[in-house]
Amino acid sequence: MRTGSEGTSWDLTTILSKSPLALPPPPRRVQSEATGVVQKMSENGVSSRAKVLTIDTMNPTVKKVEYAVRGPIVQRAVELERELSEGIKKPFAEVIKANIGDAHAMGQQPITFFRQVLALCSYPELLNDSTFPEDAKSRARRILQSCGGNSMGSYSASQGIDSVRQDVARYIERRDGGVPCDPDNIYLTTGASDGIVTMLKLLVCGEGATRTGVMISIPQYPLYSAALAELGAVQINYYLNEEKCWSMDISELQRALDEARRHCNPRALCIINPGNPTGQVQSRQCIEDVIRFAAKERLFLMADEVYQDNVYADGCQFHSFKKVLFEMGPEYSNTVELVSFHSTSKCYMGECGFRGGYMEIINMDNEVKAQLTKLVSVRLCPPVPGQALMDLVVNPPQPGEPSYENFIKERTATLSALAEKAKLTEQVLNTVQGISCNPVQGAMYSFPRITISAKAVKEATDKGQQPDMFYCMKMLEETGICLVPGSGFGQKDGTYHFRMTILPPTDKLKILLNKVKEFHQKFTQQYT
């Protein structure tokens, strides 16, 4: 955006002619577009003087960032909530925010054991309270003992508390049938997002045609596109196959890669499994193919596996990239660079607010690893309560411990309710003409395709909106249901979708699905 450099004699005409802004640009913008010298010339005109920081003089990569999950539609939803609370009449009594995977906000209860331990860690005087079970107390003592001054209020090591990383490593070993895991390769993070952005940041370099390109699925979780925009990296889209239940196809990866090589330097391949927003669960075979592809094409693999416990469909199973990698033998397991992400926010716990997470790095160059450790040290440490929670997730009550039964009961109830809701969502939405919905094999979302008539598309275009944004906005205004338009995640041209969480309690979900159904029918009728 900047058009000149300080000290050169840009005059107003030059700036105007070079300005990418639509004509006529407001005078304030012209001024701020200019550099120090021009600003100085106008120094006396106090009131008309531009701010130091304006939309034209701010970081241009930040402006390119988009994050639909909390975008304009959510802002409108918050506004509507405020209007409702002020007594303004609406055709609905409450706003249902099905835009985000926020389990507790949808009424899911926290796992008792986790919260008991967190309370004990917060206020250790409770360790003398006989109402807390012994296993909760022993977990709390172990966590506190590994905190500086036995307090969660002290900074931890930047990579995360040692004992928590050890527990994470043992969890991964158990999960992967004994494939070894080194706690030194575990980095605790502030939610998975933090780990993902940090890894992308490490990977980005070069300029122009050598600029790092990162392959992401379309549809994708928009954290990826947002982070790439901010880092000025090149986003390389590969499309998931909606007709085949959003599966991933190597020939499509190859196509995307070959095209991208003409204008950037593709170095990383991101996979979300189970898929967000698309809910597919990758087969073992597919993962193997992806790993082979990454090895052949020399790509750094980033496996976003935060939904690893959220698998519902019969015949589907979660396979970790790491396990498959190691089962493919040393030719792959010694060479392919991989990072896998996990979080406390999803699965059966849904503890988003604590911002807990970890990443495991595999085959990372030792010098790069030292740089990673240095980089994370600048932010001191991930939130310690989130680290404590992560520890409980990877080291839950064991058979024979007093909290075991209740823990398993709560965990099973949550996961089976989710499985039921996944089925329900698919069933109901597929009864609607003009909506088609793949099975929600895993994760927490449905991403149905919606038919929008040419007339509706035209009206949306006239309003300067994406057709599916127009659709979702209208649904929000008429029913109070807040969804995210498919365009926020990316979709094949000419197709339209929305993302909806399956998290509301079953009864509420039924109502919600029926409202969506009625809305769609009304909308279709209105625009035929």
Map the footprint of other proteins across residues 93-122, applying CB under 8 A. Answer: 100, 102-108, 110, 115-116, 118-120, 122
Which residue in this structure is represented by tokens 């039921």? Answer: 420
Q: By CB under 8 A, is residue 22 in contact with other proteins? A: no
Q: Which stretch binds other proteins (CB under 8 A): 165-173, 202-210, 285-293, 483-491?
A: 202-210
Per CB under 8 A, does 350 bind other proteins? yes
Task: Identify the residue whose tokens are 């039964």.
Answer: 405
CA dist 126 → 120, 153, 165, 391 (Å):
6, 17, 26, 20
- Chain positions 48 to 67 lying near other proteins, rule: CB under 8 A, are 49, 51-55, 57-60, 62-63, 65-67
Segment 430 to 469, residues that bind other proteins, using CB under 8 A: none
Kindly identify the residues of this chain, within the stretch 281-340, that bind other proteins according to CB under 8 A: 298-300, 334-335, 337
CB 343 within 8 A of CB 191: yes
Nearer to other proteins, 238 or 354 (CB): 354
Buried b / exposed e across 195-228, counting CB within 10 Å, b at 16+?
Answer: bbbbbbebbbeeeeeebbbbbbbbbbbbbbbbbb
Q: How many residues bind other proteins (CB under 8 A)?
A: 115
DSSP state, residue 457? H
By CB under 8 A, tell whether 39 contacts other proteins: yes
C-alpha distance from residue 238 to each of 180, 214, 229 (Å): 32, 10, 17
- β-strand 212-218 against 234-239: which pairing, if any? parallel
Where does this chain touch other proteins (CB under 8 A) — which range of 200-208, 398-406, 428-436, 463-471? 200-208
Q: Tell me the Cα Rg of the chain.
A: 25
CB atoms within 10 A of CB 141: 16
* 78 interacts with other proteins by CB under 8 A: yes
Q: What six digits make up the tokens of 97?
A: 């925010």
Residue placing its CB nearer to other proteins in the complex, 49 or 292: 49
Dihedral sign of CA atoms 15, 18, 24, 28 in order? negative
What is the closest distance, in whole angstroms, from the C-beta atom of residue 320 to other proteins in the complex?
A: 20
HSE-CB at 177 with a 13 A cutoff on CA atoms is 10
Q: Does residue 480 bind other proteins (CB under 8 A)?
A: no
Which residues, 6+ apart, have CB-to-CB distance to 373 below 8 Å? Answer: 158, 159
**In the window 218-237, what residues touch other proteins (CB under 8 A)?**
223, 226-227, 230
**Strand ranges in 197-297 using DSSP code E only, listed in sequence order:** 212-218, 234-239, 265-272
| Region 116-155 residues binding other proteins, contact defined as CB under 8 A | 116, 118-120, 122-123, 126, 129, 131, 147-149, 151-155
CA separation, residue 70 to residues 58, 59, 77, 150, 223 (Å): 21, 21, 10, 37, 11
Is there binding between residue 402 and other proteins (CB under 8 A)?
no
For other proteins, the closer CB: 121 or 311: 121
Q: By C-beta, is 43 or 314 nearer to other proteins?
A: 43
Is residue 411 a contact point for other proteins (CB under 8 A)?
no
80, 202, 272, 359: which one contacts other proteins (CB under 8 A)? 202
Residues 356-385 that bind other proteins (CB under 8 A): 363-368, 371, 374-375, 377-385
Nearer Cβ to other proteins (153/177): 153
